[in-house]
Structure formats: structure tokens, C-alpha cells
Chains A and B, each alone.
Chain A
């Protein structure tokens, strides 16, 4: 039989009819629609048992309590812990995005040893044993040559067992060079020491204050413990608390305050003195407090009356006389006034003058160690370790002065002066640093004058980073010994920045370590054991966890159950007897050092002729600028007027722009005595004329592709300016110029 055209057609028609009568097309339709929902790149969350782990966020010094939701063994969401004294269920953007720091691509997954040149990014994996023994070898050599003082440690914090282990290690080894990252706490500590004679944490009873004068502190821009501050800020709004924000730029904090007073940058101390002038002159101060508990009032009063009348202050600060007088009266007449300093998010110190002047204002209204005032908060005393065993080598090493000059004759009472380190290394005036350990810090990004810091680091033969992430410092290290991230490790977390009640939190593993990382506490203990002798004896613990358990004693069980311990009924130290100064009083003038609240301009770098503008930084809660960089979720929230693509915008007053012949969106070259960079112009009425503002937290060169190469690092354009009274870096800006690109 032959198949003709008709036969063929009828075969096809029959086939079509049969197909329609078969399940094939209908089933295929159904399956293909399901298939389209099944793209392999569509993330599908695993199903499993939900559980919650209470821990503490240590991504900043806010130390919020967190509750992490898990599905089986995977952490899926970080929430604020309800009932926690710091954040009571609240969270910040960065904390919420913490999972990206756990599972993200920026993690260092195993110990790494540099193979190429420093910073080239060429690494080879090595085992933990090899890594630790390599470090131990080097340390043993340095020590046997009698130079233990040439080993340094930079730590993000100096509180809690982990930091104390670093310090203990260095002491037993024989080096005085344990250094903490700078912040406004340095200024406050020194101020409290000089005026009140105590070494304590500055605490602010914001919850009970009713008139806030903030000298540039970014109350909702990351200052102090950020979530606590935003909670306080909301409470202020409903309780009708007055907030006066004094700063040259309309920050978020300024925009949400009752009054924003623009001030010439760097003249905050002058304003504080001007306010003191009005208060003293009009006898608005707390006479009883001043009479009973303040020493040196009359000497100081005469100087204040003499030098800081509102007209003089008006010409220095650019704030008119009337505003100064009204502000002073408002402050002094409020029932619980509180003045606070520390620009932006408080990660840079202020000059001693400024901090003392602001503290003096608080003293004038008698709110030192009082409800609604500034407290000297003592650290909960739970770390009681056996005496450090020191052999002759250690004792000899410790005789040396610190490299950064803290505690030296020039700066006897300042505890850490990390920003001075690069210069000291460069000048070679003291001994060279032979090995440097860095943990919880990223100095190659956060330090002013990043280029100089890098050059100084290049002179150190061994740089070891404990970073969990490939940050700038890790990238330029010789060895990376990656720590577990905060969601994978135990750690005690002491009182958050600025809190008045002591809190101890317990950060604990939410998930098992994802990679071949090791707790830095364990590594330090292993290093000590490797060195043997008295150093090993100083570390009687098998592991960090056992050290922590033993240290916390009964607290351990409590913390395991509750997640945190807090003294909710904390009372301020009785304000009449809490001064440990020579006079037993609050000293407006410290007789030993001659320190006195006053205004001396901090002379910033650059001359006006070459650099007609002033560059200042600004902080935002959307840009992490500490040792942690923005994870992708947070990066997504940065506005288009701050960062567009890879370009960062500098803020410029339209008047300044007109003078300079610049317009919105124009590409310009920003030059300072420290460096230059291409940026774009954003016109903003909220910045005083003559200023240029650049956000901090951008311009990373390391981390991941979501963060690196976007914008400019402010620290690459500024250098430190040493405060002659404290040695702290008091730079508030730098001179700059803008040219069309």
C-alpha cells in the first residue's frame, strides 16, 4: 500500500486528534508551568524545624541583644531580643544584615599565608598547626633576642575576656604595646580621669534627661549604642524633650531635633565655653553643687567671664549672640539638662579641651553622676585571673615605653594612642615593631591617612590578622588566622557604649563554624602554650571556652539561660563622694596637668590659599565605617544622592558651588594635602557655605564586589592632628579644594 498525500494528511489529523484525546498536551502544559517555577537559581528556603538562639550582636559597640531564628541548622533571620535593656527588640540595619556576614563571600575560609607581595592578594592555604607554629617560631626568636617589646597588638576593644587575653599575652610575653582602636571614649575617659579622678566608662542617662545639647553627636546616626539611642530619641519626641543639635551640617539627627544650630566646624569647645559664660555670669548654675563639690570654680569663672563673652564666641563659632544666650538659659533652666560631645558616630576622639568644656557644662548644672546626667560607670568586675607570671625577659620588655607614646611623659594619662603609631614607626625614633597582631580592627581602612598607615605597616616584618573577613588589613597581612564570626563563637560582651547600667551579654554560637576558622581566644592560648615557660603558665586554660566558663563562674549558667545580665537598678555613684581627685571634688582645673576646660583651635592641615574649602566627614546609620563594612543589604539602602554606581557625591552648599562655578552632578577632583579623588557634586542647602562633606564608610579596596571600589575612603584624604593636651587625634576636617575633572 502506498501512502499518498491524503493518507499522510489524514494520518496527521488522526495523530492530532489522538494527541488531543491523550493526556500528553495537558500534562505537558501542567508540567511546563511547574517547570517555569523551578529555575535552579530561584532560592528555595529549606523546610525544617524552627528554633531561636539568644545572643549578642558585636558588629558595633552597641551590643544589642539578638534572637536568631533558625530552620534546622541554618540561621535565617536576626531579630532584636525582646526585653533586652539595650534594644528591647529593636535592631539596626547592619545588625539585621548580619547573616550576610556569616554566609557571604567576604569570609576568609581557612588560615592563609601570603605568597606574593603584600597586598597583592596571593595566598596559599595552610593548616592551623603550621600557621600557629609559624607565629610561635617568630615570637620565640624575637623574644630570645631580648626584644619582646617589639611585638604589638591592635584590638577593637580592651574589654571582655578576649581583649584581656590579648593584653595578658603581651604582658606575659614582655610587651607594653597593646592598643585599642580610638573613639570618643578616649576623650571621655581622660576627661573623667582629670576632672573626677576615676577610670570609668562614660554613661549618659538620656532616658531621664529633658534638655539635650549635642555638640555634633549623631544621636540617630550611630553614636553610642545606636539602637538604644534611636529608642531614646523616639521617647524624647513623645515626652517633649528638647534636643538642640549643634553641627555644621544638617545631619539626620539635626533634621529630627528641635533646633539645629549650624556652627563653624571645630569651634564646639568655644560654644561650650560661651554657654558657660552666660550660665556663670547670670548665676544660673547649680550653686549648691558647685559650692560643695567643685574645685577651682572661681579661678575658672574669672577666665570664662574674661575670655568667652557671647560676642567673642559668636565671632568664633558663627552663631549669633542671641542664640548663644537663649541656649545657655534654656540649658541651665531645664530640670535635667545634658550636654554631650563626640562628632558623628563617635568613632573619632575630640580634643581634650572640647570634652572638658562639655563636661564642665554638665558640672555647672550639677548633673554629674545624677539621674538624667553623665555617669562614671564602673565595669562589672568579673574577670579575676591569677597574677601574670613574668620572667626576666618580660620584665625587661615591659620597662620600655609604649610605641604610641600613651602613658609617656608627654601624655601621661592617655591610655592608647594608636593614631600616633604610624608616625612613630616611620620616624624610627624608638625601637622597630617586628610583629603586629590585629583583631576586631581594620586600621588600614579606618585610620586617617591610610597611605601613611600602609607604609608604616610595610615596615613591620610580620603582620598577622585575625579577621574573619578579607578586609584591607587582612589583605595586607602576612598571615590571616580567621576568627569565627560573631554568630559562631562564645564571647562575653561587656556594657555597651554610653549605657549607665552595667550589662554583660553572652555572644554564643548560633550555628556551627561554617569554615575552617578558629576562635581567636583559642589561638592566643595556643600561641602562649607554644612559647612555653612563664608565658604558657599564664594561660592555665585548655581552651577559650573553658577560660570563659571559669571566668564567669556562676554567671555562666545565668547567661546561658537569660542571654544577658544587667543591673537594672543601677544607681549612679553618689555624686558627693565619687571623686577620687586630689581635692576629693570635681576639679575644673587639674593642678597636676594644668588641664582646664577652654577653647584652643585645633589647627587642621592645609593652608587657606591653596585649599579654600574645608572638608568634613559625615556619618550615617546606612554606612558602617568601623572594622565591619556594609554587607550588600545595607549597601542597597544608600541613597542615590550619596552614592550612584561607583561615584560618591560630596555635599556642597549652592552658594559655594556658585562661587566655584560648579553645578549639581558635576564630576570634580577633590584635593586635600593628603590626597585627591574624583567625586561628584551634590548641592545641599543643609551644609554651611565653604564646607565640603564626604560620607565615611565607602571606598573600600577589600571586602567583596558589593562594597569594594565604590566611592572614596574619607580616611585616605585626611591625616591625624595630634591634640597637644592628650595626644589623641583631634582632627575634625582638613582643608580642601575642588576642581572640575
Chain B
């Protein structure tokens, strides 16, 4: 069976014959070599380039859908109005659990009546406050259901501030677009804006690797320090195939893994 390539070769050989004697044949053969090699490289580069474009540019565009928050919210304005910074609305409940995004109950004191003329404010009062419906906020930092994260341990225990993980949310004047991962349903903010997973700031990503990074860096002050990143764990397993109980890793609370217990963070 002839492929396109075979044809190409046939034709160029024919052309060489027409041109005459040995020398030209030699030349032509040389030319043909570099020509074919060039094409191969060219196609390789083309393929490489195309897939890089797909992977780095098109893929993220396809992966995420843009969603608008049900109503807009001005953090700057509200932070000025309240006394206690972020904790005025994102507070710890009496039992130590974290309240997350505020509920109507927190808004209703000021927003029983429409304040001002902003269309979002009108929508908020008419659609939600007066109908006693909670606003279905899209939570940028919502983690998969298997993740157990204690705000109390980090904020109260380790005295961290909100910005370390959530960035300068409190300085935003309006809510950014919620980019929803079409496969998982979670926000793009978990993986991070950079599709390559690169980050400049601590708040750029919220994956387990980022938890692990911070826990390792601050090992001296942190109780749970040997959190393996998923990548690391894979390598560990391959390199360190030893009978249980003889692992060179530090002994954690779990008998099976000899690490600190997984269930501290995984439900």
C-alpha cells in the first residue's frame, strides 16, 4: 500500500531521473535526506507546538466554565463598616466550628430594608432577604467532601491570618467570576489560576501539596509534619518497598502507614 510519503519519494526520484546523471542523483538524494529529516522535525515541532497550545491554552479554557455569583458583594465597603475585620462575618461558632460564608442571619440586621440603589442590593433584599432564602454563594475555596479542614486549628491554634490561604479577598470591591471545573464541580481557585500549578504566593493554590509544603516548612511548630504530597507518595512507594514495620520513615500514629493518621485531614 502506498502512503502519501511513498508517493512523495517516487515523484522526487522521477524528477531526479529526468534531470540526468549521477551527480545530480547524489545531490538529489542528499537534498531528499535533509528534506525528509526537516519535514519530520517540522512535523514533530508542529505536533509539539499544537499539543502545547492545546494543553496550556485551549484545555484550561474548555475545562472551566464561567459562573457569576448570584449577587455581587463589596468586601472593601463591608470591612470598613464592621468592627472586627473578617471575623465579623466569617466567624467561629460557639462550638468552635467555622461559619464560612455568612448566612442571611448575619446580613439581616442592616439589610432588612433596601440600602442604597445598587441593583444587586435590591435583588438581595427582594429575592433573598424578604423571601427568607439563603443566597447560594459559590464558594471559591470549597474543598472536596473528603477533606477535613479545621479553621480553628489554623486560625486560633497556629495564629495564621486569612490572607495566607485566601489571599486579599477582603480588599476586593466586587466578586470575581467563579470558574467552575466542569469535571469536578470545584472552583479553579483550588488548583490555582496557573494551569501548570505554579504559584508565587501562598494563596495561589489550595491543593494538598500546598498544605504539605507549609507543614514541612514550619515543621518545628506544627504537629502534623510528614504529610506526603501525592507525587512524593508515589515515589516513596516505589523506592521504599519494604516489609511493614521496617520503614525508615518516622513512626506516626497509624499502624498501617506508619505515618500520622490520614483521617486527621481526610474524611
Contact = CB atoms under 8 A, between A and B. Distances in A.
Interface of A: 1-19, 21-24, 26-28, 30-32, 34-35, 37-38, 42, 44, 47, 49-50
Contacts of B191: 27, 30
Contact of B51 (A6, A22, A26, A28): A22
Contact of A12 (B9, B47, B56): B47
B195 interface: yes
A31 B184 contact: yes
Given A7-B5, A18-B55, A35-B183, 6 more contacts: A1-B39, A13-B44, A14-B43, A17-B47, A28-B183, A44-B145
Interface SS of A by simple majority: helix
A4 B40 CA distance: 9
A476 to B, nearest CB: 40
Contacts of A2: 4-5, 7-8
B186 interface: yes
A49 B4 contact: no
A52 to B, nearest CB: 10
B51 A19 contact: yes
Contacts, number: 127
21 contacts: A3-B4, A4-B36, A6-B43, A7-B39, A7-B42, A10-B39, A11-B46, A14-B49, A15-B47, A15-B51, A16-B47, A17-B44, A17-B51, A21-B48, A21-B55, A23-B56, A24-B59, A27-B195, A31-B183, A31-B184, A50-B93
A23 to B, nearest CB: 5
Interface residues on B, range: 35 or more
Contacts of B69: none
A11 B43 CA distance: 5
B29 interface: no
B3 interface: yes
B108 interface: no
Contacts of B250: none
B44 A23 contact: no
* Best-buried of B9, B59, B99 by chain A (most CB within 10 Å): B59
A512 B146 CA distance: 30
B59 A22 contact: yes
B49 A18 contact: yes
Nearest to B198: A23
A31 B186 CA distance: 10
Given A23-B55, A37-B145, A15 B50 contact: yes
A15 B54 CA distance: 10
Interface string B183-216: 1111000010001110000000000000000000
Nearest to B185: A38
Contact of A8 (B6, B43, B99, B184): B43
Contacts of A15: 47-48, 50-51
B144 interface: yes
A10 B41 CA distance: 7
Interface in B46-102: 46-52, 54-56, 59-60, 63, 93, 95, 97, 99-100
Contact of A49 (B42, B50, B93): B93
Interface of B: 3-9, 36, 39-52, 54-56, 59-60, 63, 93, 95, 97, 99-100, 144-146, 181, 183-186, 191, 195-197
Contacts of B97: 49-50
Nearest to B2: A5
B48 A18 contact: yes
A14 B45 contact: yes
Given A7-B39, A22-B59, A30-B191, A13 B47 contact: yes
A35 B184 contact: yes
Contact of B54 (A10, A17, A24, A27): A24
A22 B52 contact: yes
A7 to B, nearest CB: 4
A4 B5 contact: yes
Nearest to B3: A5
Contacts of A4: 3-6, 8-9, 36, 39
A216 B108 CA distance: 61
Closest 10 CB pairs of A and B: A22-B55, A4-B5, A14-B47, A18-B51, A15-B47, A14-B44, A14-B48, A11-B47, A18-B48, A24-B55
B51 A16 contact: yes
Contacts of A1: 39
Contacts of A44: 145
A37 to B, nearest CB: 6
Contacts of A31: 63, 181, 183-184
A16 B41 CA distance: 14
A8 B44 CA distance: 8
* Best-buried of A16, A28, A47 by chain B (most CB within 10 Å): A47
Contacts of B9: 4
A25 to B, nearest CB: 8
Contacts of B95: 50
Given A2-B7, A47-B100, A22 B56 contact: yes
Nearest to B56: A22
Contacts of A19: 51, 54-55
Given A35-B183, A49-B97, A5 B52 contact: no
Nearest to A14: B47
A38 B145 CA distance: 8
B45 A23 contact: no
Nearest to B35: A1
A21 B47 contact: no
A50 B43 CA distance: 61
* Best-buried of B46, B49, B95, B197 by chain A (most CB within 10 Å): B46
A23 B3 CA distance: 34
B195 A18 contact: no
A335 to B, nearest CB: 48
Nearest to B190: A34
